[in-house]
Amino acid sequence: MAGPVVAAAVILNPERPIAGLADSKTLSETKRNQLFKTIAENALSWSITEASVAEIDKLNILQATLLAMRRAVESLAIAPDQIKVDGLYLPHCAIPGEAIIKGDSKIQAISAASILAKVHRDYLMAGYQQTYPQFSFHVHKGYGTRQHLAEIEQFGILDLHRKTFNPVKKILAADERKHKANLIR
């Protein structure tokens, strides 16, 4: 519900295999952080990119994700021969590719990219704790948890919040109704 969407691209070095690669969501935070460093040190090339909250709200989350993916591929120092993406859709690229459902648990390069993206986003969201101490971004990372929803109800919506996401959109609509009701009085 908050923050940019993050994508990463990785070209692994076949001469420097990395043990322990898996879907980032199945790994502990400690293990992801360790693997982030190992991937960065051993991959032939890697990149991490974002699509902003404004881009998410303008395009929708799928199109913003595909945009971030395309940016990640285009930011690689080495152009890949093909791309493999976790999910159902490929970003628009000049490079041929394949979308693989649950690819982050099947293809090591996709696993590595998912780890880079998750660690980067978690770090980014935790950093917002400094700017917005009333929000526990270091805990919920901007996801739609009960705690995050309660914080929005108590402290309001930030520029970080994705205005087109239903929980945020509903709060905005309720605030607008209250504002109109106050104008009528």
Q: What is the DSSP string of 45-67?
A: EEEEEEE-HHHHHHH-HHHHHHH
Report whether pLDDT(179) > 80: no
- Residue 67's domain comprises 5-132
Q: How far apart are CA 112 and CA 46, in angstroms?
A: 9
Torsion of CA 72, 120, 135, 177, to 10 degrees: 10
Span 56-72, pLDDT tens digits: 999 999 999 999 999 99
Instruction: Note whether residue 76 is domain-resident.
Output: yes
Instruction: Note whether residue 102 is domain-resident.
Output: yes
Domain count of the chain? 1
Q: How far apart are CA 100 and CA 87, in angstroms?
A: 5
Exposure of 14 in the CB half-sphere (CA atoms within 13 A) = 0
Asked whether the beta carbons of 69 and 7 are under 8 A apart, the reply is yes
How many helices (H) and strands (E) would you count in the chain? 7, 4
pTM metric for this prediction: 0.91
Handedness of CA 9, 14, 19, 21 (dihedral sign): positive
pLDDT of the residue at 170: 87
Instruction: Note whether residue 183 is domain-resident.
Output: no
Instruction: Note whether residue 170 is domain-resident.
Output: no
The three-class DSSP label of residue 25 is helix
Instruction: Note whether residue 172 is domain-resident.
Output: no
Contact partners, residue 169, CB within 8 Å, separation at least 6: 163
Looking at residue 66, which CATH number applies to its domain?
A: 3.30.420.10
Instruction: Note whether residue 36 is domain-resident.
Output: yes
Instruction: Note whether residue 113 is domain-resident.
Output: yes
Instruction: Note whether residue 138 is domain-resident.
Output: no
Report whether pLDDT(150) > 80: yes
